[in-house]
Amino acid sequence: MYFNQGILTLLPLLLVSQVQAQSSSQNLTLGFSANDGKGLVNFSTSVTPASITCFNLADVFASNASSEQSYTVSNAQDFSSQANYTSLFYQQLNESINGDGSGIGTGKDAARVVEVFPGEDCREIDGLAWFGFSCQNADGELYVIPGGVKSFSIVSKAESVNKGKCWVHAEYGGTGSTIFKGCFVAVMAAAFSGLLLAI
């Protein structure tokens, strides 16, 4: 009888932890830390905004942030507006729709697109790139963001300009981005072709 009571006592705890694990895996979780590993602060939401929503880290983790927000934060007391948050933890996993789990899994398109920016108000600054994430990652992964993160945006994948393959730490903007290099090569090729035709 002692064994059965132990199982009956443990069973609700196991069920609660399983339900919590299932519900938390549907969230988008972002963790920000400084390059010295200090000041880890976390942002989590289950909302998928239809239009681009920009968040400034200073506003999100401010001690006077509104409790009516559609997200939760942890370790907000460790946030410092003076810190350079160059490490990003990214975790996002879709939930099944009507029991169909075919769209669930690491490396597949996620429900949301996340973009992280070196400037406030989701802007580039000083020629630094911004980075995009839109792939599912069940366990989460840590990424280095050169120049740091001051803001980030979230939007529904359906409303995003990213209609191709999902992004994993995709670099855009800034002087070192592949988009800039591609445009530069195209302009130079056109100029060189024009020069050859003129001769």
Q: How far apart are CA 75 and CA 17, in angstroms?
A: 22
pLDDT grade, residue 55 (50/70/90)? very high
Share of the chain above pLDDT 90, in %: 43
Please state the rounded mean pLDDT for residues 149-168: 84
Q: What does the pLDDT read at residue 64?
A: 60
Q: What is the pTM of this model?
A: 0.70
**Mean pLDDT, the chain, integer:** 76
pLDDT, tens digit (0-9, with 9 covering 90-100), for 6-37: 433 333 333 333 333 332 338 899 999 997 66
Q: Of 103, 92, 84, 59, nearest to 145 (Cα)?
A: 84
Q: How far apart are CA 52 and CA 23, in angstroms?
A: 24
CB 90 within 8 A of CB 30: yes
Q: How far apart are CA 85 and CA 142, in angstroms?
A: 12
Q: What does the pLDDT read at residue 97?
A: 58
The total of other beta-carbon atoms located within 10 Å of residue 114's CB is 20
Res. 199: pLDDT tops 90? no
Q: What does the pLDDT read at residue 106?
A: 85
What is the chain's length?
199
pLDDT grade, residue 140 (50/70/90)? very high
CB 129 within 8 A of CB 172: yes
pLDDT grade, residue 158 (50/70/90)? confident
Q: What does the block give as tokens for 102?
A: 């075919």
Q: What does the pLDDT read at residue 165?
A: 83
